[in-house]
């Protein structure tokens, strides 16, 4: 499962990327809206995870970009790094 993560904290991003890769997910991390939009436009992701530090305007931009894809990726709003892995494992199991 390919996962794009948009977050604002570089240190936390590296930790989360390592954890998810270790759990067998193919992950890409972005720290800016521009990076995330470019990735969504040019690549295929089953899930786009958006961290709690990402503001409302950015969240709406990303949702709009995801809606243009067919099929659109699942969007997960994440609050805290510990909540992402269990949600991805649940999606992978279904």
Map out the domains of the chain as residue ranges: 2-93
What's the pTM?
A: 0.93
Q: What pLDDT sits at residue 83?
A: 83
The structure tokens 């243009």 sit at 68
Contacts of 86 (CB under 8 A, 6+ apart): none
Q: What pLDDT sits at residue 80?
A: 72
Angle formed by the axes of helices 33-42 and 56-67, to 10°? 10
Task: Identify the CATH homologous superfamily for domain 2-93.
Answer: Probable inorganic polyphosphate/atp-NAD kinase; domain 1 (3.40.50.10330)
Residues of the chain falling short of pLDDT 50:
none
Contacts of 68 (CB under 8 A, 6+ apart): none
For residue 7, the Cα-to-chain-centroid distance in whole angstroms is 8
């Amino acid at each position: 499962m390919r996962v794009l993560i948009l977050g604002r904290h570089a240190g936390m991003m590296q930790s989360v990327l390592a954890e998810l890769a270790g759990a067998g997910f193919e992950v890409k991390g972005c720290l800016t809206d521009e990076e995330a939009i470019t990735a969504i436009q040019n690549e295929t992701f089953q899930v786009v995870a958006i961290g709690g530090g990402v503001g409302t305007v950015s969240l709406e931009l990303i949702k709009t970009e995801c809606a243009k894809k067919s099929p659109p990726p699942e969007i997960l709003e994440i609050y805290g790094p510990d909540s992402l892995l269990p949600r991805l494992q649940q999606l992978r199991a279904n």
